[in-house]
Amino acid sequence: MPSRTKKLPTTKSISTIYDGLSTYYGPVSWEPRYDGISELIFTVLTQHTSDRNAERAFQRLVDYFRIARSHDWMKVLEATVEQIEPLIRSGGLSNIKAKRIKDILLQLFQKYDSFDLSFLAELPLSEAKRKLNELPGVGPKTTAVVLSFAFGMPAFPVDTHIHRVTKRLGLITKQTSADQAHDKLEKMIEPQLVFPMHVYLITHGRQLCKARKPLCHACPIETQCPSSTHIVKN
């Protein structure tokens, strides 16, 4: 993809990008998707698969063990990997994920004697992140998803779409990994705009700034983008 003159991102350019995307995609409101522990287990199931596959796996798990409140996850902790694995097979890597889910539940129960994660919302963001990151198989993306989607905290999850779009926009360098991008992007965005910006960038990556053929001619932030392929004819 041809590159225009490279500019460092500024607060002004980020707010211009935000304005362009919010005008194009419309208002975004936050409400919790699941409680904290359910969001954490669901997000583990989304690792290396689509949300759709993960939703099917999560629903089977919840239905089978009749999970209605955080303490019910004890039934999954008490189950064997062999019992859990077939229930979550649609989410892929089911043996690894079944063991990971049990390891997470065990560590939570040993540390906090509970699966209720609502205490995280009372902590400073960095402390809440540290506590989740300590859990087995829980990296920066899973941490940011749980804090953002379950508790409305200003953590910025970076998935494959956001990683690609923000690189094209020059908000991060081509060398910045997805794991490094969480903190970098989070610091650039006003806390109250972190969640809608996450939603806008992911939607933009799915609808217009596609991996193979970005639809730059239709892009509402094309003038802000150093990677645009749109050629204006005189």
Binding site for ligand SF4 (CB under 6 A): 165, 168-169, 208-209, 214-216, 219, 221-222, 225, 227-228
Between residues 88 and 162, which has the closer beta carbon with respect to ligand SF4? 162
- For residues 130 and 10, give the distance between their C-alpha atoms in angstroms, rounded to a whole number: 28
How would you label 154-183 residue by residue, b for 16+ Cβ within 10 Å and e otherwise?
bbbbbbebbbbbbbbbbbbeeebebeebbe
Would you tell me the crossing angle of helices 94-112 and 36-46 to the nearest 10 degrees? Answer: 150
Tally: H helices and E strands in the chain: 12, 0
Smallest separation (angstroms) from ligand SF4 to the CB of 201 = 9
Q: Which among 172, 208, 204 is positioned nearest to 188, based on CA atoms? A: 172
Smallest separation (angstroms) from ligand SF4 to the CB of 227 = 4
The beta strands (E) that lie in 124-175 are given as none
CB atoms within 10 A of CB 122: 9
Smallest separation (angstroms) from ligand SF4 to the CB of 163 = 13
Smallest separation (angstroms) from ligand SF4 to the CB of 189 = 16
Q: What tokens appear for 210 in the block?
A: 């596609």
Between residues 178 and 219, which has the closer beta carbon with respect to ligand SF4? 219
Smallest separation (angstroms) from ligand SF4 to the CB of 229 = 6
Q: Are 152 and 195 in contact (CB under 8 A)?
A: yes
Smallest separation (angstroms) from ligand SF4 to the CB of 219 = 3
Between residues 46 and 224, which has the closer beta carbon with respect to ligand SF4? 224
What is the residue type of 43? T
Between residues 138 and 201, which has the closer beta carbon with respect to ligand SF4? 201
Between residues 4 and 111, which has the closer beta carbon with respect to ligand SF4? 4
- For residues 179 and 129, give the distance between their C-alpha atoms in angstroms, rounded to a whole number: 13
What is the residue type of 131? K
Between residues 12 and 212, which has the closer beta carbon with respect to ligand SF4? 212
- For residues 81 and 84, give the distance between their C-alpha atoms in angstroms, rounded to a whole number: 5
